[in-house]
Chain A
Amino acid sequence: KQEVTQIPAALSVPEGENLVLNCSFTDSAIYNLQWFRQDPGKGLTSLLLIQSSQREQTSGRLNASLDKSSGRSTLYIAASQPGDSATYLCAVRPGRDDKIIFGKGTRLHILP
């Protein structure tokens, strides 16, 4: 059974710092992995989607990497800003026809 774990559960860092959020999954055979941002009252926003054949995706200050063999993904945020404060969710689709499985998220607080 696929399980997705995110560490840390919460993180506070000063503005301007670079930071890394971690996601691990128990079964390395995945179809794709997606990172979301969750803001209160605004639902989820998709940030990056990585196919199983890819090793990373980049969008602006965000970079997500995928290492299937070790069951890990990281979300790198460069030059953090207070507006980056949110909960970041990692989600895995185990197989083509499988439902998405989410981690519990990392609550990020960027200190001004």
Chain B
Amino acid sequence: GAGVSQSPSNKVTEKGKDVELRCDPISGHTALYWYRQRLGQGLEFLIYFQGNSAPDKSGLPSDRFSAERTGESVSTLTIQRTQQEDSAVYLCASSLAGSLLETQYFGPGTRLLVL
């Protein structure tokens, strides 16, 4: 594909429900990142996948957040028992080899609203 894609583009849910966000990275990119951007705030790193290595989960805000990645393809970010403070734009990015010298390519984001 031409770039990183994310779905859904928008999601409205009720407090307490679970949501699943999807990210399709650029084909061939081994590194995948999830970020969150709350209204008026900067981007927050959530989790990083690199090949078959154990993911870096240091940014996950609570145990309600989890993410999976199948091989070097699709990733899903799951938020269980959503809270209003989870409302944010969730951004996914990928890079070719995960080198810190590389540029990350971002998807359009999923805008999550928890009522």
A residues apposed to B, CB below 8 Å: 4, 31-32, 34, 36, 41-46, 49, 51, 89, 91, 93, 96, 99-105
Contact = CB atoms under 8 A, between A and B. Distances in A.
Contacts of A93: 100
A94 to B, nearest CB: 11
14 contacts: A31-B100, A32-B100, A43-B108, A44-B93, A44-B106, A45-B106, A49-B103, A89-B42, A99-B48, A99-B56, A99-B59, A100-B43, A101-B45, A102-B43
Contacts, number: 53
Interface of B: 4, 6, 9, 40-45, 48, 56, 58-59, 91, 93, 100-101, 103-109
Contacts of B59: 99
Contact of B43 (A45, A49, A89): A89
Contacts of A103: 42
Contacts of A34: 103
Given A43-B91, A100-B45, A102-B43, A49 B101 contact: yes
Nearest to B95: A46
B43 A43 contact: no
B104 A46 contact: yes
A102 B43 CA distance: 5
A105 B108 contact: no
Nearest to B104: A46
Given A44-B106, A99-B48, A99-B56, 18 more contacts: A4-B42, A31-B100, A32-B100, A41-B9, A43-B6, A43-B106, A43-B108, A43-B109, A45-B106, A46-B103, A46-B104, A46-B105, A49-B103, A91-B43, A101-B42, A104-B40, A104-B41, A104-B42
A112 B74 CA distance: 41
Which A-B residue pairs are the 3 nearest by beta carbons? Answer: A44-B106, A43-B106, A102-B43
